[in-house]
Structure 1
Amino acid sequence: MILVTGAGGFLGAACVRQLLGEGHKVLALDPYRGGFVPQGAALLESEADLATARPDAILHLAAFSDGPVGLARSGEAAPERALEVNLLGFHRLLRLAAEAGVRRVVWSSSTVAIGPATGPDRVAEEVPCAPITAYGLSKHLAEQAALYVRRRHGLDITGVRLPLLFGPGLWYDGAAGLLARMVAAAAPGAAPEFAAPEDAFDAAHVADAARLFALLLARPGLAPLYHLAGFTTRWAEIAATLAELVPGYAPRLNPTPAPITWPLVSQARLEQDTGFACTHDLRATLRDLLETSA
């Protein structure tokens, strides 16, 4: 049995569907008490019941969010709460997992834990981190907590620094919200204008992230941390691709300075250790979004 925390979120629901589709029994822990958890998963009332449930593995995706504004803005608005949930809550879950004899924990970090880009080159997992957002700080400290519990208690823990995630079911605004607005406006003859940075960034389809987490749960003894790069794109490329997929749609971009330029990451270690490869490029991701929003 696999316990999924944050099982009602955008990524969490995709992971629950992936695990159920692979035949796993899934136990879901979600602050909304199952309102958005896919059918087929059993619900766990609280972390205190973990010892009784005794799952074989845990997929930890829960993070502090104050509604649809996204994780980053939620963290900036309430940094102490972000640290309480993303760091202290995570550490408490790891301690309970170790006490309950859980064999494997996989969890979601973020590339924002690295901090701003310091150059054009892709960075590996050992790059020095210098986060400048509350959300990034909480994830960087959570990575340190995971390493500590791995050393102290021998718990088999692997984290993944995720890029922006796109795909059907994206409901919150945040950094990925611009894509949702561009897709929602896609129609022949429409020519809306969007303010967007010009910098390149990494992104991935949520279904690829879900496949990756399912793979990592089934592979014990891997490295403590991996990068998922997905595909690299720019908002200008996204607008141009949407215009190709929806004839007559002509989104216009108003270039704006990016508040922070995030580093591009290398997923070479992930590919070498697991053989994982994403199946969705930008075009496939946008086509999927257009089809499900129609």
Structure 2
Amino acid sequence: MIQKPLRVLVTGAAGIIGTAFWKRRHGEFSLRLADLHTGKLAEAPCPSMQLDVGDYAACLAACMDTDVVLHLAGVPHASADFDAQLLQPNIIGTHNIFRAAQTQGVKRVVFASSAQAIEGYPLDMQVHEHMPARPANMYGASKAFGEGVASAFAHQHGMTAIAVRIANVAHFAPGQQHSARDIAAFISERDVVQLLARCVSAQVPAGYHVVHGVSDNRYKRLAIEATRQLVGYAPQDDGFSLLGL
């Protein structure tokens, strides 16, 4: 029997990561794209909708007939003001998405956390997946909150919730100048897309899981051994090599 592709709702689909995901993986999954600003989705080869994640009723409607939610929506800036920029999308919106997904019977939510959720650890320390969030700014705190929401819904409702601590998504080329910190946290576009696709489709136990989003850099700010084992992540790039170092 031919298996139907997973029905995946992608929030924040007009962002950098969301756009890379649907451009590279629209043939693998049955995607439905959602974003507050839909102009960039006009040419997408899959259905799209406007979605304000701060609106619970809209989230509830968006999560209908969905197998997996890939929740990328949110304000992604480390310097963002909490009240004016982070509270509605990153706090209320994340809770709305998990609550709507659970109500609609969605079994898996993949949540885009951030390396900013662990920025409070010393810079010379490699952070492992089992280590708790330790943010150093309010954006990181909003992502740590999202990790907490993911854990709570997994434990209370039997969902599979995967928090992906995505680091420095960038395009590196020889001759560019970057700090050692940024190189150690680098993840290429193709690697972040592969990681998210594995989080969407890999066979993993129900419950809460944390995975790390960096490429196979010579030195990694975030360890990925447990991520490889859990979802079969196989990064292709090394930030140091791409820069000719």
The TM tier, using the shorter chain, reads 0.7 to 0.9
Two-structure CA RMSD over aligned residues (Å): 2.7
1:218 deviates by 0.8
In the comparison of the two structures, how many residue pairs are matched? 227
Partner of 1:92: 96
**Which structure has the larger Rg?**
1
1:283 deviates by 6.8
1:60 maps to which of 63, 67, 71: 71
Partner of 1:106: 110
- Classify 1:25/1:128 alpha carbon distance in 2 versus 1 (closer, same or farther; 3 Å): closer
Q: TM-score under structure 2 normalisation? A: 0.81
| Percent of aligned pairs with the same amino acid | 25
Other structure's SS at 1:224 match: strand
Q: Report Cα offsets for 1:146-189 as digits up to 9, x if no partner.
A: 1011111222111110110013xxxxxxxxxxx69x86xxxxxx
Residue 222 of structure 2 is aligned to residue 265 of structure 1:
yes
1:129 deviates by 3.0
1:228 deviates by 2.2
Report the more deviating stretch, 275-284 or 105-114.
Answer: 275-284
* Separation in structure 1 between the aligned mates of residue 66 and residue 222 of structure 2, nearest angstrom: 32
Please list every run of 5 or more consecutive structure 2 residues that lacks an aligned counterpart in the other structure: 1-6, 52-58
1:32 maps to which of 11, 34, 37: 37
Please list every run of 5 or more consecutive structure 1 residues that lacks an aligned counterpart in the other structure: 66-70, 168-178, 184-193, 235-262, 288-294
Partner of 1:9: 15
Partner of 1:276: 233
Partner of 1:49: 61
- Give, as a single letter, the amino acid of the residue that structure 1 aligns with 2:233: F
1:224 maps to which of 195, 199, 209: 209
Other structure's SS at 1:44 match: strand
* Separation in structure 2 between the aligned mates of residue 163 and residue 155 of structure 1, nearest angstrom: 25
Q: Report Cα offsets for 1:194-222 as digits up to 9, x if no partner.
A: 7x655463111011111111111112434
- Give, as a single letter, the amino acid of the residue that structure 1 aligns with 2:143: K
- Give, as a single letter, the amino acid of the residue that structure 2 aligns with 1:42: P
Q: Which has the higher contact order (CA 8 A, sep 6+)?
A: 1
Partner of 1:240: none
- Classify 1:49/1:87 alpha carbon distance in 2 versus 1 (closer, same or farther; 3 Å): same
